[in-house]
Structure 1
Amino acid sequence: MKLAVFALLLASATPALADEVLWDRYGVPHIHADSEAGAFKGFGWAQAASHGNILLRMYGESRARAAEYWGADYAALDRYLIAHDAPERSKAWYKAQTPQMRANLDGFAAGINAYLAAHPDHVPAELKRVLPITGVDVMAHAHRLMQFLYVAPMGRMLTPPADFKPTGIGDANNGDGGDGDAGGSNGWAVAPQRTSDGAAMLLANPHLPWAPSLLTYYEAQITAPGYSVYGATQVGLPVLRFAFNNNLGFTNTVNNMLGATRFALEEAPGGYRLDGKVMAYRRVTRSLLIRQSDGSLKRESFIQRHSVHGPVFDVDGKPIAVRIAGLDRPGVLQAYLDMGKAQDFAGFEAALKRVQIPSFNIVYADRAGHVFHISNGILPRHKTGGTHAFWAGIVPGNRSDLISTEIEPYESLPKALDPPGGFVQNANDTPWVNSLPRVIDPRDYPAYVAPLAPTSLRAQMSARLLAGSDKLSFAEFQRRKLTTTSLMAERMKPALLAAVASNPDPDIAAARDLLTGWDNRFEPDSRAAILFEEWATRFAGPDLNDQANYERRWTLDDPVNTPSGIRDNAVATAMLKAAAQAVMARHGRLDPRYGDVSRFSAGESITFPGHGGAGGLGLFRTISWWPWKDGSRTPQAGETWVNLIQFTTPMKAIATMSYGNSSQPGSPHRSDQLEALSEKRFRQLWLTRADVELNLEKREAY
């Protein structure tokens, strides 16, 4: 089967209209078009149908006009984007696209506009202020998402520099290796030598927040001449970022690459000091409109200062300049499009080699049997060296030799192709343990590329699930993905039970007996999982990445078996007593069923028993829960788009979209996959037109 295999299979049944969306019974759009721009239009139509509310909200934000549309709560974000010249750059980036890509972006925008014109009651009036959408808006949103959320988010860039002292290049490494943010993502690729069918397998498994936002995932299939791809992307993007075609597939996980640098400026009369000279700020008057409570618009003007580093912000009363690498590289959407069009590793790598994607680990597998991982990004090349921790902090702004003007080329980024272990994996960890045996040595790269940080327990579990020489069936691949065993429990429970073996305290004795009979899994019927989680957050801290209480700390020489042991048995014992009391106080019993108090919900009243949990517990089935409320909790982030494929003939492809494929109020597809999630069931993906027709909800011409 060659380039157009999906399209040929789809054409084998009822002929398609020239431009048509087939909606399957899970609300997944299967888009067919007779041109590339027509396919983009269909994708815009579909996104407006499934996510119109959040789509228009995020486009208004990415225009840097959200305060004009919806009030002062959005003014800070508008100012941040305006300070970085994002609106002007978005126009320039749009003009820099090829004629075909400009037509694609215009088509995507036209699809959004056409759907909302045909369905005038689909979104509330306040969101219609953003209409019409243009191709520039599509580019502006991609720019905002990539550069100003992933690379240089306002919250991180404008955090007060606590006790910062500009003393020079630092030596300490940064990393805690933990899971303290939104749960991260997982990615696996397994080579044919490790599979029973002799065909490569791929897992795509992002973990971003469940609440509807610009991080919400959307599943789709797109078929046009020369382009036939299935996968998911974040709402608002016109290309699939997690995708496969008949010959290859790829996924992303967030990495720790530092594409932005913060500089502490040394103020001087008339400006700031650089290399002993006083430099004048470049000052530009900017303005924004802010909608008032009575609906009127008030213009606010401000003076934006720029140093040679970049725009300057007052942070805790101190001038901080932000410099973002790659603002001259407008090709991120083209790169993802070309990756999805590629039919072999050479074509796929050619898109990556342009170094247009600002961040992300990328994990890849193909029909030819290649597996690949790269810690990818647009990384400043620092001629002064320095560690990851130094560049992640506040850098002295009075030295021009610290201002990077080049980026690291593709060849300098950590990567592995077809390692001897027969797999690559990433779970937001540094690249040093992307396979076992290890194939990447940190000493071969500048220290600022990635920290020599502890491999998180989730990443350790990821590597351990694939390590070895056994051959995996697709069913076993699926089973390992779904495991809820806690690596921390497997590693630490024996030592904890030994520490409390003869303790007569009734609370400790009851906890000991409960843990003794537990199989270390976080399943709906698990009775000891909540107790162990309570103990773990005391032993390893709220983010589960503090190693102070371990007897043996993490080491790269033994990266998937450390940290281990208990440093102080008395301390661990006291923590178990406190954990037992906390569980009793919250739930009225020591052994609540995990699925009774941890419930899968997509923001509606319907809930199902939950399983999985925090990656810091060494759980590969990752769910980050909201804080307890009335003795129960629901997901904040975690398992979202979960897709497993194998390059057999025919291809094996299954998936779930945990919170459903639509966020529109009243949609039946907001929570229609929660039960399958709870029961660990995947959907068979319908790749052929015949299968889609058998599972058709409706068809639309656009």
Structure 2
Amino acid sequence: MGALCAGLVAVTLPGASASGQGRPGSDGAQIRRTEYGVPHILAHTYTDLGYGYGYAFAQDNACQMADRVLTLRGQRSAVFGPDTWSNDGLNPSTNLDSDTYFQALRRTGTIAHILAAPAPVGPSAELRQMVDGYTAGFNRYLKDVGVAHLPDPTCQGQPWVRPITAEDVWTNILDINQAPGISALRQLITTAAPPAANPAPATPAPATPATAAPGSAAASATARTPISALAAPLANIQSGRRGSNGWALGAKATAAGDSMVLVNPHLPFIGDARLYQVQLTIPGVLDVTGASLYGTPVVQMGHTQNLAWTHTATDALHMSIYQMQLVPGDPTSYLVDGRPEKMTVRQIPVQVLGADGTTSTVTKTLYNTRYGPVLSAGWSTASALTVRDANADNLRSMDQWLAMDRAQSISALQAAQRRYQGAPWVYTLAADTSGSVYYTDSSVMPHVTDAQLASCTVAPPPGMTLPLLNGSAAACAWGRDTDAVTPGLFGPANQPKLTRRDYVANSNNTPALTNPAAPLTGYPAVYNGRETQLELRPQLGLRMIAGRLAGTDGLGPAGFTLPTLRTLMLDDADRSAQIGLADILALCRTRPTLTASDGSSIDVRAACTALAGWDGHGRVDSHGQVLWGAFFTRLLEYDDRAGSFWRVPYDPHQPLSTPRGIDTGKPLVATALADTVQAAAESELPLNASPGQARRWDGVPLHGCADEEGCFNVMSATPTSGQNGGIDASDANYAEGSTFIMAVEMTPAGPKANTLLTYSESANPASPHYADQSALFSHGRWVTDRFSAADIAASPALQVTNLRR
């Protein structure tokens, strides 16, 4: 480390003993870094723990945080111009739309309002201390190093790198919680504008689901932005891009009778939605290791001494879209039970950098209702759509995770979730040393009953699959459970939950098949989301568990061990190939020439040879997988009736063995194959390309394949330049997949775990920790989790930094 100010003592002790590390004082923290730069933060207070974490995170990712703060403050347009795209990994938008959204959020005073509330609605004293400490620690690093000397060339010397505030951290937390809700619709919010008024002589009665007037073609005919514009962001929310796999394996599922957890979130590789691996310790109070989303001060997935847990993204929506009937002649007033209400109008000024280098102010107008902001999609003279987000005031998530970071049992985890009710959009799967496992959807869920879904749903227009609720009837507003921490949400008593001694598993499927031996039923329908059948990735996961429990997977005697759990995680099986490749090979062998969509005759013999030589996996050297992935993705795109190409369609009574077989008699199958081969001829990649040739991180070949194919280890990227004859995820429009991976066994002697952070700890391309774990992931190797003080002290890579405030 370089020279630092007098308040910082930096000591590098390769192979140091625990006694040689020293201890933080009463007003500071100790950062102990082990292999691959993983920081272990030790402190005696929550403030100091946050201080050490903020400093360590800044060492690795100061530029990422500085860029994120520009977004959170609504200042991107003034620095980079209004038309470039933000660096938001979950919900990118133009800088102007992003700035308008965040400027509006700040002007509403939402954060201040939540902070003023007592816990559990507002943050606890401990969490406030963590946030304040994190902020101070990050800023301390900027002061020590100086912006002009930052090691990351991305932002070195840039005037937009500035100290952060606690408000920035709180805003980041709120935006993360709203990521699959109102934040995903920010462009539709910031571009909403009323159509020209069209006066009518009389005020009609409120619309009802039976008349479906607001959703009719006539009602939306005068809309500036068609209602179909809402379909794309909603499909994105529900597409599983924020997917994950999570397993909790109980005493009856493991060879040693211990419990295990598999952590495998799928998130973007690029932007602000990355994960950071860290251990946080206050002796006798808190000791947790795992992963945190960038810019957050607590661990969200990981393990303590006696408890391990993970999360997967829920299949359900955590918002409601309401369709409002407007007052005739006044498109900024709406009717509720026949009575007019005026929309709230706000003017939001944004500073914008012009082409000539000068700044000017662009002012946009936003509209709001009792059900939240108005959307541009479908705003006509007759009706408008609004969005109400269940996470609108949720900062409780971090207190819930902080309590879970202290928990040592499933019951303590349950108590944390009951108290704070802050899980924003995730399922929870957990195991403890008792050998029990637990699953729940404790996420904040709009209180829309089954009866309301039946009576309040307005038929959506063509192209929309999401039910719209009738906002013109007060009876369609969210209700309240007596055990809910805030109004409008379902309380813990209504949440799906399951405790077992064998296993619980989820890959973004609905709660029903958490364990096929004990299907979950009886919970409100809104928890089911969009899924109508068990998709291929969760099906593969459940089949892998079944094979291991039966000992039929070729990995030895029945029951999980830590090595078999690691092996299955990185096996890279492709479920769509398991059930469809043989049929496609039969097709191309019997019909070597197929007709493409444009009428061209396509010779598919070389492609057939490539597919015949493929091993059916997504390994680095699985030659032929890229061709199969392109074909199957195209087949799904061409299928206007989902699943119509299967020989045996999905059967809910056989969820693990259907669908299967591709019906090659369906013309779309041959067309999809011909079009895929035709497109492959224009690619730089060979027909038998492997995942390692097609996807890389900083030149490191990656394995895995797409969610749509039914790949458990998801890995995908959308190229910008196609470097080196393939796709380099570090130079891609979008790259996502397995990010932080942890396989942990909860033994009586303490947790044993292996981890991988696939894109490594630092976003700084000049850092030695930019792609070091990526190389491990590429070769199927793991990092040994160092949790105890003795294990940390024994690290041959140990570096210790003592911070004093």
- TM-score, normalising length: structure 2: 0.77
Number of the residue aligned with 1:273: 335
Question: Is the Cα–Cα contact under 8 Å of residues 196 and 471 in structure 1 kept in the other structure?
Answer: yes
Matched, 1:640 2:705: no
Number of the residue aligned with 2:753: 653
Number of the residue aligned with 1:434: 514
Question: Is the Cα–Cα contact under 8 Å of residues 179 and 544 in structure 1 kept in the other structure?
Answer: no
Q: Secondary structure at the match of 2:115?
A: helix
Q: How does 1:149-164 map to 2 (within 5 A)?
A: 152-154=183-185, 158=189
Of 456, 460, 463 in structure 1, the residue corresponding to residue 535 of structure 2 is: 456
Structure 1: distance between partners of 2:428 and 2:640: 26
What is the deviation of 1:565? 2.6
Number of the residue aligned with 1:351: 416
Moved more, 401-410 or 46-55: 401-410
Q: How does 1:507-518 map to 2 (within 5 A)?
A: 507-518=603-614
Q: Which amino acid aligns with 2:783?
A: R
Of 558, 561, 578 in structure 1, the residue corresponding to residue 654 of structure 2 is: 558
In the comparison of the two structures, how many residue pairs are matched? 680
Residue deviations 1:537-584 (CA, integer Å, cap 9, x gap): 233228999412113332322222222233342633454444344434
Of 568, 580, 586 in structure 1, the residue corresponding to residue 683 of structure 2 is: 586
Q: Secondary structure at the match of 2:759?
A: coil
Structure 2: distance between partners of 1:227 and 1:295: 50
Matched, 1:195 2:226: no
Structure 2: distance between partners of 1:464 and 1:590: 30
Number of the residue aligned with 2:6: none
Structure 1: distance between partners of 2:237 and 2:67: 32
Structure 2: distance between partners of 1:446 and 1:181: 19
What is the deviation of 1:479? 0.8
Structure 1: distance between partners of 2:166 and 2:726: 44
Change (3 A) 1:609 1:241: same
Number of the residue aligned with 1:408: 490
Unaligned runs of 5+ in 1: 1-8
- TM-score, normalising length: structure 1: 0.88
Q: Secondary structure at the match of 2:132?
A: helix
Number of the residue aligned with 1:622: 714
Q: Which amino acid aligns with 2:524?
A: Y
Matched, 1:79 2:137: no
Of 418, 422, 427 in structure 2, the residue corresponding to residue 361 of structure 1 is: 427
Question: Is the Cα–Cα contact under 8 Å of residues 244 and 266 in structure 2 kept in the other structure?
Answer: yes
Question: Is the Cα–Cα contact under 8 Å of residues 177 and 453 in structure 1 kept in the other structure?
Answer: no
What is the deviation of 1:658? 1.0
Q: Secondary structure at the match of 1:616?
A: helix
Structure 1: distance between partners of 2:506 and 2:373: 34
What is the deviation of 1:32? 0.8
Residue deviations 1:326-382 (CA, integer Å, cap 9, x gap): 434432111110011111111110111131222111111111112112223211112
Moved more, 512-521 or 122-131: 122-131
Q: How does 1:480-629 map to 2 (within 5 A)?
A: 480-500=568-588, 502-503=590-591, 505=593, 507-541=603-637, 546-569=642-665, 571=667, 572-586=669-683, 589-595=686-692, 597-601=693-697, 604=698, 607-627=699-719, 629=722
Number of the residue aligned with 1:37: 47
Change (3 A) 1:12 1:426: farther
What is the deviation of 1:201? 0.8
What is the deviation of 1:535? 2.7
Moved more, 61-70 or 102-111: 61-70
Question: Is the Cα–Cα contact under 8 Å of residues 71 and 102 in structure 2 kept in the other structure?
Answer: no
Change (3 A) 1:277 1:223: same
Q: Which amino acid aligns with 1:242?
A: M
Moved more, 353-362 or 446-455: 446-455
Q: Which amino acid aligns with 2:745?
A: Q
Question: Is the Cα–Cα contact under 8 Å of residues 574 and 709 in structure 2 kept in the other structure?
Answer: yes
Structure 2: distance between partners of 1:355 and 1:202: 23
Number of the residue aligned with 2:272: 214
Structure 2: distance between partners of 1:372 and 1:177: 29
Number of the residue aligned with 1:145: 176
What is the deviation of 1:295? 6.2
Matched, 1:257 2:336: no
Question: Is the Cα–Cα contact under 8 Å of residues 183 and 615 in structure 1 kept in the other structure?
Answer: no
Of 662, 668, 680 in structure 1, the residue corresponding to residue 768 of structure 2 is: 668
Structure 2: distance between partners of 1:10 and 1:666: 30
Structure 1: distance between partners of 2:144 and 2:624: 54
What is the deviation of 1:316? 5.5
Q: Which amino acid aligns with 2:476?
A: L
What is the deviation of 1:532? 2.1
Q: RMSD across aligned C-alpha pairs, in angstroms? A: 3.3
Matched, 1:334 2:392: no
Structure 1: distance between partners of 2:184 and 2:55: 29
Structure 2: distance between partners of 1:32 and 1:233: 16
Number of the residue aligned with 1:101: 127
Q: Which amino acid aligns with 1:551?
A: R
Number of the residue aligned with 2:304: 245
Q: Which amino acid aligns with 2:784?
A: Q
Number of the residue aligned with 1:691: 791
Matched, 1:678 2:744: no
Question: Is the Cα–Cα contact under 8 Å of residues 179 and 615 in structure 1 kept in the other structure?
Answer: no
Q: Which amino acid aligns with 2:477?
A: I
What is the deviation of 1:427? 1.2
Q: Secondary structure at the match of 1:305?
A: strand
Unaligned runs of 5+ in 2: 1-15, 84-94, 117-121, 193-206, 216-230, 480-487, 551-557, 594-601, 730-734
Structure 2: distance between partners of 1:589 and 1:327: 49
Number of the residue aligned with 1:168: 209
Change (3 A) 1:589 1:43: closer
Structure 2: distance between partners of 1:509 and 1:526: 19
Number of the residue aligned with 1:424: 504
Change (3 A) 1:315 1:536: closer
Q: Which amino acid aligns with 1:335?
A: Q
Question: Is the Cα–Cα contact under 8 Å of residues 306 and 750 in structure 2 kept in the other structure?
Answer: no
Q: Secondary structure at the match of 2:372?
A: coil
Structure 2: distance between partners of 1:176 and 1:278: 32
Equivalent pairs: percent with the same residue?
24
Residue deviations 1:437-475 (CA, integer Å, cap 9, x gap): 24213x543356434522221111111111244311111
Residue deviations 1:493-545 (CA, integer Å, cap 9, x gap): 23334445544659445544544443312223323323322331233228999
Question: Is the Cα–Cα contact under 8 Å of residues 97 and 190 in structure 2 kept in the other structure?
Answer: no
Residue deviations 1:217-256 (CA, integer Å, cap 9, x gap): 1011111130111011111011111121111111111113
Structure 1: distance between partners of 2:61 and 2:526: 42
What is the deviation of 1:637? 1.0
Question: Is the Cα–Cα contact under 8 Å of residues 510 and 528 in structure 2 kept in the other structure?
Answer: no
Matched, 1:28 2:22: no
Q: Which amino acid aligns with 1:312?
A: V
Residue deviations 1:290-340 (CA, integer Å, cap 9, x gap): 455566554444444322222334335544322122434432111110011
Moved more, 76-85 or 395-404: 76-85
Moved more, 499-508 or 546-555: 499-508
Of 442, 465, 475 in structure 2, the residue corresponding to residue 376 of structure 1 is: 442
Question: Is the Cα–Cα contact under 8 Å of residues 315 and 529 in structure 2 kept in the other structure?
Answer: yes
Number of the residue aligned with 1:134: 165
Question: Is the Cα–Cα contact under 8 Å of residues 228 and 341 in structure 1 kept in the other structure?
Answer: yes
